A and B are shown apart, each in its own frame.
Chain A
Amino acid sequence: MSDVSNDKIVQLRSQIARRKRFDRIFSSIGGFLVVLSLLTLGVLFVNLVIDGWSALTSTYQAKADQSGFGRREIIGKLIQEGSEWKLQLRPLVLTDVDDATLQPLVGKEVGVKGRMARAPESGFDPSSVGPIEGPVENYDLVGTLTRQQMSVIDSQGKTVQTAVYTLKARPILVDVSGIDPSKLNPGQDVSVDPKRALSGGAVVASNIVPLVTKNFFNSFPSRDPEQAGILSAWVGTLLIMLVTMVISVPLGVAAGIYLEEYAPKNKLTALIEVNIANLAGVPSIIWGLLALGLFVYIIGTGRSIQTAGLTLGLLVLPIVIISTREAIRSIPSTIREASIGLGATKWQTVRYHILPYSLPGILTGSIIALSRAIGETAPLVTIGALTFIAFLPPPPVEYKVPEAEWAVYQEALKANPSAPIPEKQWHFQPTEWLKSGFTVLPIQLFQWVSRPQKEFHYNAAAAGVVLLALTLGLNGTAIYLRYRLRRKISW
């Protein structure tokens, strides 16, 4: 008797063990895959950050009023001594010099004559450097010369020893006549064109251009990878996302509410429902084609921010509609019945109950939709996004010389170099930016990747980090909002 029951238990246990084996297999495979995907994401991110770090963190100085920074400039700092203004130049580096001629001058006062600029931030033809003879005023620059032995890599890739000379110039006087001194700031970094600025040992103040510190985020794309940045790309991305949101969220939420709360349940609405689900899966390039045909050619909205925003808005509209409907469906029908049962109209029920309670879901869905739109490249290339943009869309309000007057002035300038500069005026152009050309982060990234120089690839990686951070940030916000808002409402 007890043997039989023992048998039974043994059988039972082996059967349970057999069944449990699948649990073990599945949970270990699942766990492995989760770890793998996290690892992949981590490696991806770390790799991007390592590649892009130098581009992300490097800075350089550029003229405030121009996007690029000319190579034949010398830069320094404005200083004030009593009522006199002076320019303290950065040490000038002289390369490719004839060691034999310059070596005797090391440690002595030298003067520089002539204004030939040669290399970035270096400036002077070594042949114009010599010992001071006669009055100091005869020289453009006066300073001391130092020499350093350095290893450099030559064009054949060989390391060679070369002498590098550095000229520490004395501060030069700034000629401030005819200039409002309050516009000069002591300690400010400035740039001077040596060909125009230096005359008789003094710098003409009107030729001094202030410098600003530029980095990856506030620089335009450039031929020089070290100075190229993502300013136009992230501004474009942000503005297009704004338009996308303004279009897709109200429309999508309204459509979702209508379909869930108002539309009769019949064959037509069933068809619409299926269609929306299908639209969500249409390849994005198809949306680009549609937008090109409809917006650019027929309606004529141009290859502009508004077209891009419209296109992406339509692209993510199904996502917003679907998530809105899902959020509304998660509200139990008893709540709806309670509200209707108290004599509320449909709209009152939507306004006071359906919308507030589905808000977490709607918000999350909208953010997810945006984070999908932010990475879209294909439809924007199709409608004609620019790949190299060194301007920003016009701000809504601007203080500038009217374009027509500026053209007239340019004409007048040819005949009369001292023609009066036209007055600046306030311009209100609240929708002008919508019509501007654009680029976005993923397109900028792609453009950099397709360049042969390795330095551009670092820029691409840096843009990738920014894009990835934006997307992860958006998704993180969505998760956080869902967590925060759902906590208050649980059915």
Chain B
Amino acid sequence: MGMITDSSTVSSGSAPQLAHPPTPVPRISDPLKAQVESFNFFYANGFQALHGINMPIADNQVTALIGPSGCGKSTLLRSFNRMHDLYSKNRYEGRIILLPENINLIGPELDPIEIRMRVSMVFQKPNPFPKSIYENVAFGLRVRGETNKRYIDERVEKALRGAALWDEVKDNLDKSGFALSGGQQQRLCIARALATDPEILLFDEPTAALDPISTAKIEDLVVELKKTVTIIIVTHNMQQAARIADYTAFMYLGQLVEFDQTNQIFTNPSNPMTEQYLTGRFG
């Protein structure tokens, strides 16, 4: 895995079923946090889920990944913290450069644990541990060997405040994370991801399982969080992408069809497929 291939060999005609050739590397003016270059991904069964992805990730901005079901959004997102390493035989090709150090996230020489300590993830379905609220948030610190109770207390409070959950749970930190509502659970998972001060926060359809009020809370939170962390979010909800994302990437059949500033994509897409998708003609 992680073989670095020349981008020209990868991008040429690797997906004949797609009518559109892959986009060249988009240029943006914002400072970058990461850069995806000629990225291919193969699942253990040999299925190639991503074809020659080129995409910048702007620092302290929200980047949304949209596209029809099965187009590879989750696959791309999970590559950012090497989640695919959990199942052996999954294979990366190309590079995902983390800036400013200029290191290749998916390089085999890089310990995935190091990546996961810098890039945290929030999943579609809230997945708190069946432990207390406090322990849920403290877990990331504990695995780093942190034992100073006072310090952990501080960080737990800060993370819970950051996830806009503190006021609701501050008197019940010993309560099980399972006892919270779905929206609260998701914010608990965000707090858990925040506790270790990640540089990038990945969200995979974080509101798909939530009611509108909880969804609005999470959306506000995402906008608030981008002051301190770079955010990549997968969403099926166009309005949500339009509301919170600075950049949007439209994917189709494992390829990146179009990448641009969100208002550009939604008001004036350059690719007819993007427009068709946004207007609901397929997907």
Contacts and interface: CB of A to CB of B under 8 A. Distances in A.
A41 B192 CA distance: 52
A357 B86 CA distance: 19
A348 B129 CA distance: 14
Given A264-B88, A337-B83, A348-B143, A343 B127 contact: no
A343 B117 contact: yes
Interface stretch (B30-38, B118-126, B230-238, B269-277): B118-126
B259 interface: no
Contact of A352 (B81, B128, B139): B139
Contacts of A334: 123, 125, 127
Given A338-B189, A490-B178, A332 B127 contact: yes
Interface string B123-149: 101011110000000011011100000
Contacts of A335: 127, 129
**Residue among B83, B125, B127, B178 with the most chain A CB within 10 A?**
B127
A185 interface: no
B189 A345 contact: no
A340 B139 contact: no
A265 B88 contact: yes
A21 B108 CA distance: 63
A265 B88 CA distance: 8
Given A332-B127, A357-B130, A490-B178, A341 B116 contact: yes
Interface string A350-370: 001100010000000000000
A336 interface: yes
Contacts of A357: 130
10 contacts: A337-B123, A338-B129, A340-B83, A341-B123, A342-B140, A342-B193, A343-B140, A343-B143, A352-B142, A489-B130
B123 A340 contact: no
A317 B116 CA distance: 37
Given A338-B123, A340-B86, A340-B116, 16 more contacts: A334-B127, A337-B127, A338-B127, A338-B129, A339-B143, A341-B121, A341-B123, A341-B193, A342-B143, A343-B117, A345-B113, A352-B139, A352-B142, A353-B129, A357-B130, A489-B130
A336 B142 CA distance: 16
B46 to A, nearest CB: 15
Nearest to B112: A340
A19 interface: no
Contact of A337 (B86, B117, B144): B86
Contact of B120 (A264, A265, A342, A348): A342
Contacts of A348: 143
Contacts of A223: none
Interface string A311-334: 000000000000000000000101
A490 B128 CA distance: 12
Interface in B137-173: 139-140, 142-144
B196 interface: yes
A342 B121 CA distance: 8
A413 interface: no
Interface of A: 264-265, 332, 334-345, 348, 352-353, 357, 488-490
A264 B120 CA distance: 25
Contact of A336 (B86, B117, B128): B86
Contacts of B81: 341
Q: Which 5 A-B pairs have the closest CB atoms?
A: A343-B117, A334-B127, A344-B143, A342-B140, A343-B116
A342 B86 contact: no
Contact of A342 (B88, B176, B178, B196): B196
B83 A339 contact: no
A337 B88 CA distance: 14
Contacts of A341: 81, 83, 116, 120-121, 123, 193
Contacts of A339: 129, 139, 143
A221 B113 CA distance: 63
Given A341-B81, A342-B196, A343-B113, A488 B129 contact: no
A99 B144 CA distance: 96
Contact of B196 (A337, A343, A490): A343
A336 B196 CA distance: 18
B128 to A, nearest CB: 8
Contacts of B120: 341-342
B192 A342 contact: yes
B144 A343 contact: yes
**Residue among A335, A339, A342, A489 with the most chain B CB within 10 A?**
A342
A345 to B, nearest CB: 6
A21 B202 CA distance: 54
A68 to B, nearest CB: 58
Contacts of A352: 139, 142-143
**Residue among A340, A348, A488 with the most chain B CB within 10 A?**
A340
A328 to B, nearest CB: 15
Given A337-B83, A337-B86, A490-B178, A342 B130 contact: no
Interface in B66-124: 81, 83, 86, 88, 113, 116-117, 120-121, 123
